[in-house]
Amino acid sequence: MSNAKAVTDASFDADVLQSDKPILVDFWAEWCGPCRAVGPILDQIADEHGDKIDIVKLNVDENPQIAAKYMITSIPALKVYKGGEVVKTIIGAKPKAALEKDLADFLA
């Protein structure tokens, strides 16, 4: 299982929108194979770049309000929030190098 913090409909505002640093939210579900594939990659990125970006997970089946609010229709969906706003969206599982390239602005 991932070591990323789980956020919920109830904690999303405090955990994500009010965060002082960029935060990547992994919108996922237990039954989603690509979600399970990208989880360990996100853990590696969190371990290597945790001083620059926080990575959390939101289970879309258990937290439908936030998933609906951000119009999550495909998972895995990765959204980077900064200052309470979505500043980057990545859809689908990708290799670590591709994710790091997509996130380069936040990992520098």
Catalytic positions are: 32, 35
> Residue 5: enclosing H or E segment and its boundaries?
strand 5-6
SS (HEC) of 26-94? EEECCCCHHHHHHHHHHHHHHHHHCCCCEEEEEECCCCHHHHHHCCCCCCCEEEEEECCEEEEEEECCC
Residue whose C-alpha is closest to residue 17's, from 66, 65, 62, 51 = 66
Residues 25/9, Cβ–Cβ less than 8 Å: no
